[in-house]
Structure 1
Amino acid sequence: MIKAILVDDEKLSLDLLTKQLQAFPEIEIVKAYSQPTNILEDIKQEKIDVAFLDIELTEGNGLDLAETILTIDASIYIVFVTAHAQHAVKAFEINSIDYLLKPVMHKRLKTTVDRLIEKIKKSRNYEAPKDKIPLYIQCFGEFNVFLNNEPLQFKTAKVKELFALLFTYMDTYVNRDYLIENLWPNQDSKKAKINLHTCLTYLRKMLNSLGYTNCIKFANQSYILSIPDIHSDLKIFNEAIYSFIKNDRKSISSAEEAISQYIGSYMQWNYYEWANDIAQEKLNMTMYLLESIIEYYYISNTDKALFYLDLQRKLNPFIDKNIQQTMNLFIKKGNRSEAINLFKNYKALLSAELNIEPDPSLIKLYQDLMK
């Protein structure tokens, strides 16, 4: 038996659909609602297989209601019923298995019911993974999700970008309008909203198949992604920084741990415009950590100091202090020629890129070396 609920604020349409569905012995109508009040509480109390939802409701709309229902139980199938043909977009999903236009014909409804029977039979025979399949999420350099050391394939590039954005704000509600503005900035709002729902459906299905059920929740027009015990370079980076700051910048090993995760700018090779500000923030923090590490090793460990000075130059080649410190360490090690070459290369770079001369203190250091 397939347990169904119906939602339509037009009582005549609701009564007609109820009568039509009663003709199918496989369908048990648990409740028909003319207002969405109490629906969410009811589906928490009783297992529902499918919800037939009108899209245009006096209070809210069927799209948002569907999202909220799926937040409570992602296994519920959605069938949209509406009088407005303009909503019927081929790409439309949201865990929906069909889209019915009013007035609903018996033959068309039978197709929907047959599809429901097939889907639910498969889902009841499907055994979800008992344990979550370990994933590793890489954010620095290029955003990728790895399963058994192989990049996970997403349904579309937009599904991957949506996951990247939600993961960036993990455990924080992200407003739906913010998602739409950043993922579909030049698209009609209705079409963009449909695309968002479609991508969320694909993303939920992918995560569910890996054992991560009900990770995406919807409330107050916002979405939140929560995946406990996830492994990622971003998590290691953030936790190491927290440890470093908590220990009053004395935990150099924590700073080095954070730096080891920074293999490139945040989502650099995905070219997500919304990630640019975050990338700058992560770069600023990395430069701050490098400054602290270099200061720590400058006196005590020349080789390590040189290693991190080189890394700092790769991220920003225009730091006078870096050049001066590196030259001093080369001189300390007896590598006078390397110090001279470093200065000459730096001077050439400043001239070519910025049309300026090195700091006077650097020029004096170089002149002293040439004496």
Structure 2
Amino acid sequence: MKAILIDDENPALLQLERLIQADGRMDVGGKFTRVSSGLEYLEDNPVDVVFLDIEMPGINGLEAGERLSATHPDLHIVFVTAYNHYAIEAFELNALDYVLKPVDPARFSKTISRIESRMSTTRSMPAPQDSVVICFKRLALEASGEAGGLLRWRTQKAQELFAFLLHQNGQWVTKDHILETLWPQLVLDKATTQLHTSVYQVRKVLKHWGVEATIEYAHDSYRLTRSGFTTDADLFIRGIHIPGVETEQEFQQLERVLHLYQGDYLEEHDYFWAKPVREELRRQYIHGSLVAAAYERNKGRERQALKRLLALQQKEPYSDEICRSVIQAYHDQGNEAALVSHYREFTNLIRNELDAAPEAETVQLYLELTDRE
């Protein structure tokens, strides 16, 4: 990663440079005491990050940040300031982070990690020309960023073969394993004929899409090459591993990732071989949603948090973790009646349907929130 530093005070520039050198994950391309000099440098030099002081004579950092965001949309901006009341304005300009002077080394290291995470996510996103195969809820195709129709397959087995090979993430799969998984009830000759017919149909659909992907065959094995397309599940997996949500920008990034999850992985097709991945992606979605709700609660947006949590409990009604988050959100709102009602409904549900009781942690939280110890 390459950065430039803009601050009208040389000691501040030197401190930032030393911190960057000590961290070792970023190079300093230039140090400037005037915004205009930094802008001139950017015209001719590739830069990933700008550390920008807010309080400067003439054009201040916020104005400069606005200009940079307009002219260099891929540039990551980190504001440096002695006053934290600038933070809200900084993030309104889509800044990646802000650090307070004098800069604390541990806090600065966290900022570098945040930059690394953001750049990794950005680089992993597909090129605009890629098609997107929708795997959440049901199999569908979205070409060039536009809503597409459902994939049209001549047979359901051709569709399942495509989904099964897609599920392997470009790995080779033996013919025997495919036959045992997709045609276990057929004798070998008939199953092999079905496989060859389905391979032909999948290749035909791929050609109709106009993507470079195809099914390859070698050493009695098959694989689906993944040139020219990605999947919404891929994008979800790449984006859901956010180290933490501490800023509005990170929250918005998490929201975009969660929005990809429109239903369980291949939910409507109910392929048995997809179950482990389906459960893992569901677990990650629930965790990400709880992180988002916690951020909303911390920012005083209890209503939004509660709406998210109640929708989440519809998906996972037996979850103690979600129940705890819901009753905590009701407590934040000062709505003890709803808190008590929700806890009792949850208790009755798991007792009647699972013959179970709430976890000790759930009971303890309920007692603390209602002063019933």
Task: Tell me whether the two structures share a fold, i.e. TM-score over 0.5.
Answer: yes
Q: Is the 8 A contact 1:237 1:261 kept in 2?
A: yes
Q: Is the 8 A contact 2:139 2:150 kept in 1?
A: no
Distance 1:322 1:284, change over 3 A: closer
Measured against aligned partners, the alpha-carbon deviations of 1:291-317 in whole angstroms (never above 9, x if no partner) come to 433343332232343233224322322
Match of 2:318 in 1: 318
Counterpart code for 1:352: N
Identify unmatched segments of 5+ residues in structure 2: 1-128
Q: Distance in 2 between matches of 1:279 and 1:357?
A: 27
RMSD: 3.0
Counterpart code for 1:169: Q
Match of 1:238 in 2: 237
SS in structure 2 opposite 1:322? helix
Identify unmatched segments of 5+ residues in structure 1: 1-132
Query: Does 2:334 match 1:334?
Result: yes
Match of 1:163 in 2: 162
Q: CA deviation at 1:231?
A: 5.0
- Which structure has the higher relative contact order (CA within 8 Å, separation 6+)? 1
Match of 1:299 in 2: 298
TM-score, normalised relative to structure 1: 0.56
Q: Percent identity?
A: 23
Match of 1:352 in 2: 352
Measured against aligned partners, the alpha-carbon deviations of 1:300-351 in whole angstroms (never above 9, x if no partner) come to 2323432332243223222334323322322322323322221221122122
Q: Distance in 2 between matches of 1:328 and 1:314?
A: 17
Counterpart code for 1:342: H
1:280-295 pair list within 5 angstroms: 280-295=279-294
Q: Distance in 1 between matches of 2:283 and 2:133?
A: 22
1:100-119 pair list within 5 angstroms: none
Q: Is the 8 A contact 1:176 1:223 kept in 2?
A: yes
Distance 1:305 1:363, change over 3 A: closer
Counterpart code for 1:315: K
Query: Does 2:145 match 1:142?
Result: no
Moved over 6 A (4+): none
Counterpart code for 2:272: E
Q: CA deviation at 1:135?
A: 4.8
Q: Distance in 2 between matches of 1:363 and 1:330?
A: 11
Counterpart code for 2:367: K
Q: Is the 8 A contact 1:137 1:145 kept in 2?
A: yes
Measured against aligned partners, the alpha-carbon deviations of 1:252-294 in whole angstroms (never above 9, x if no partner) come to 4443333212222211111211111121121222233234333
Q: Is the 8 A contact 2:139 2:151 kept in 1?
A: no
TM-score, normalised relative to structure 2: 0.56
SS in structure 1 opposite 2:195? helix
Q: Distance in 1 between matches of 2:135 and 2:155?
A: 18
SS in structure 1 opposite 2:216? strand
